[in-house]
Amino acid sequence: MKMLERLRVERGISCTFVASNLKISRNRLRRIENEEVTLPAEFIPFLSNLYGISYKEVIEGRTKNEQNGKKINKGLRKT
């Protein structure tokens, strides 16, 4: 489970609530949480406030997940 989804689930916040407040579909939110699409910068303040983390943590958490995913994928391709 990726960071944004984990934070949402841990806090008992529904996908519908977050998507509605961001004025996006639940499908788009799921794609953002799964890091299939870029996290729009304008969503960072809302997510930071909602999950009680800093802007930096939102950005770095996503960056770390993306980097870790790339390392894992590269490793799988080599074997």
Where do the domains of the chain lie, and which CATH numbers do they carry?
3-78 (1.10.260.40)
Q: Calculate what percentage of the chain has a pLDDT beyond 70.
A: 77
CA angle 26-48-15, nearest 5°? 20
Q: What is the pTM of this model?
A: 0.76
Mean pLDDT value across the chain = 84
3-state secondary structure 20-33: HHHCCCHHHHHHHH
Q: What is the pLDDT of residues 30-39, one digit of tens each?
A: 999 999 999 9
Q: What is the pLDDT of residues 11-22, one digit of tens each?
A: 999 999 999 999
